[in-house]
Amino acid sequence: MAQDGIEVFAICATDAIERGGARGFSLSRIDEAGETRPFPLVVLRTFANDYLGYVNRCPHDGVWLNIGAGEFFSPDRAFLKCGRHGAIFEIESGACLDGPCKGKGLEPVALAVIDGDVCLCGVRLLEDSGMPDPFADAEETMDIMIHPD
């Protein structure tokens, strides 16, 4: 789908994420050299109803933030938190405020809400190549990444 000349991909319906919640997606992107790269993504919906996206990769050791218990947030839900060594990130900026990667930050991903969908902007996702569609793949991945409470 193209919006004003920028390639956009629908990731999920806006109401698929609760306010104050987050969802992880395991996607693949095509880089400038045409190579396929894993593209783990976390989409956050703030209590103010904004949608924010980050590459789901801790700047310390490169793991998914929700590694382990499947949780993206600190217990008070005020911050993002890495499940491996407990780095704390500001939700609005992705800046690491405490932990082994203090001073670094999560890589932001541009999102837009279009027609009730959260869409990724300006990233070439792998699709139309016999691979499962990113949405179906994300659903499957969620079962692995997110443990039920």
| Residue 115 beta carbon to ligand FES: minimum distance, rounded to whole angstroms | 35
Nearest to ligand FES of 58, 120 (CB atom) = 58
SS (HEC) of 42-79: EEEECCCCCEEEEECCCCCCCCCCCCCCCCCECCCCCE
Site string for ligand FES, 93-122 (x = CB under 6 A): ------xxx---------------------
40: nearest Cα among 56, 51, 22: 56
Nearest Cα neighbor of 58 from 111, 99, 12, 19 is 99
Task: Using CB under 6 A, count the residues that bind ligand FES.
Answer: 11
List residues binding ligand FES (CB under 6 A). Answer: 58, 60-61, 63, 82, 84-85, 87, 99-101
